[in-house]
């Protein structure tokens, strides 16, 4: 009983658990009034994330440096946080053509928790440590712990273990001065305030988390040169939609007609980065591939290198 009372007391102190005056009597409002309230509260998320941009930028730099050295980005979370982490990790290979092992997720309850709630596991420090230990975190890795409350035992233990093994650790929370924040090297805090439905952190807190993870992965991949201008040039055309996108990217990036872009993509072995280097530097496939290898996959630098070959 004491433990349950203590837990309630601790939760009541969190801003994400406070009642929201703006959504009082939500159940008495019309559908339009309900969505207006939600929309107005969602607008506050952008401001909260904006205040954390310096910390997010530092995290992007850490992640890019780690991946450049052959390390990994590993997200860890439970419930909504874990599902958002899984989504971002899953989207990186098709968007940036990185190895699936490069961006990973660890979730309380494992993959089964993606489709159904496994709440009990998030309270286990032992499980958090054990699941992170399976990934063998090291000095070249960045581990990002995500929890709106900043109090999830599974996530805290995973971050503590990773840090003890020399990995760089980052916390992503929506409350300040939490155990997760204190466990990590770098803290990113977005104080989104009380939820429209009290305590439902899948709402504003979840939106903030999605925005931040978008920034972390997309920012790091951009720094690595997997984006040219604002085009995702590392995309691999594995279906008709992506093939058309690859041709469109070559057209925009190199300023050529569709027919020439199609020819370049075929000559490049269906590789958009190789095709772009070929077009921009006026080199053959072998030289383009060599330039990309020398540049570590950084497309803009590869173009410059190919031009000087």
Q: Report, as residue numbers or ranges, the catalytic residues.
A: 91, 122
What is the CATH topology of the domain spanning 11-223?
A: Rossmann fold (3.40.50)
The architecture of the domain spanning 240-308 is Orthogonal Bundle (1.10)
* 179-220 tens-digit pLDDT: 999 999 999 999 999 999 998 999 999 999 999 999 999 999
Question: Could you tell me where the beta strands, DSSP code E, fall in 48-196?
Answer: 73-77, 103-107, 142-146, 168-173, 186-189
Q: Are 179 and 173 in contact (CB under 8 A)?
A: no
**pLDDT given for residue 5 in this prediction:** 40
Among 1-5, 91-95, 122-126, 203-207, the range scoring the smallest mean pLDDT is 1-5
Buried b / exposed e over 195-204, threshold 16 CB at 10 Å, is bbeebebbbb
pTM of the model: 0.91
- Domain boundaries defined on the chain: 11-223, 240-308
**pLDDT given for residue 8 in this prediction:** 42
Over range 147-170, report the average pLDDT: 97
Q: Which residues contact 61 (CB under 8 A, 6 or more apart)?
A: 223
3-state DSSP assignment of residue 137: coil
3-state DSSP assignment of residue 169: strand
What is the token pair recorded at 209? 């988390």
* 33-75 tens-digit pLDDT: 999 999 999 999 999 999 999 999 999 999 999 999 999 999 9
Provide the pLDDT confidence category of residue 113 given band limits of 50, 70 and 90.
Answer: confident
pLDDT exceeds 70 at position 9: no
Provide the pLDDT confidence category of residue 135 given band limits of 50, 70 and 90.
Answer: very high
Q: Are 123 and 108 in contact (CB under 8 A)?
A: no
């Amino acid at each position: 009983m004491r433990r349950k009372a203590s837990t309630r007391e601790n939760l009541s102190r969190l801003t994400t658990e406070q009642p929201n005056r703006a959504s009082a009597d939500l159940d008495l409002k019309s559908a339009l009034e309900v969505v207006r309230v939600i929309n107005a509260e969602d607008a506050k998320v952008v401001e909260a994330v904006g205040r954390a941009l310096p910390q997010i930028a530092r995290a992007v730099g850490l992640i890019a440096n780690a991946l450049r050295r052959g390390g990994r980005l590993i997200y860890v979370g439970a419930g909504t946080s874990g599902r958002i982490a899984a989504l971002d990790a899953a989207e990186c290979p098709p968007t940036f053509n990185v190895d699936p092992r490069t961006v990973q997720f660890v979730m309380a309850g494992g993959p089964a928790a993606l489709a159904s709630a496994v709440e009990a596991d998030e309270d286990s420090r032992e499980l958090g440590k054990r699941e992170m230990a399976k990934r063998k975190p090291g000095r070249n890795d960045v581990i990002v712990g995500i929890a709106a409350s900043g109090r999830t035992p599974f996530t805290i233990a995973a971050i503590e273990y990773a840090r003890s093994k020399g990995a760089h650790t980052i916390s992503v929370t929506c409350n300040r001065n939490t155990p997760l924040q204190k466990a990590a090297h770098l803290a990113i805090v977005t104080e989104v305030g009380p939820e429209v439905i009290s305590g439902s952190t899948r709402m504003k807190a979840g939106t903030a988390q999605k925005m931040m993870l978008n920034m972390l992965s997309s920012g790091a991949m951009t720094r690595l040169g997997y984006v040219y201008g604002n085009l995702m040039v590392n995309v691999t055309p594995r279906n008709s939609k992506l093939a058309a996108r690859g041709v469109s990217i070559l057209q925009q990036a190199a300023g050529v007609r569709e027919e020439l872009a199609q020819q370049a993509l075929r000559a490049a072995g269906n590789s958009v980065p190789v095709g772009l280097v070929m077009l921009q530097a006026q080199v053959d496939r072998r030289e383009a591939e060599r330039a990309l290898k020398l540049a570590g996959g950084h497309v803009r630098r590869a173009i410059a290198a190919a031009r000087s070959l």
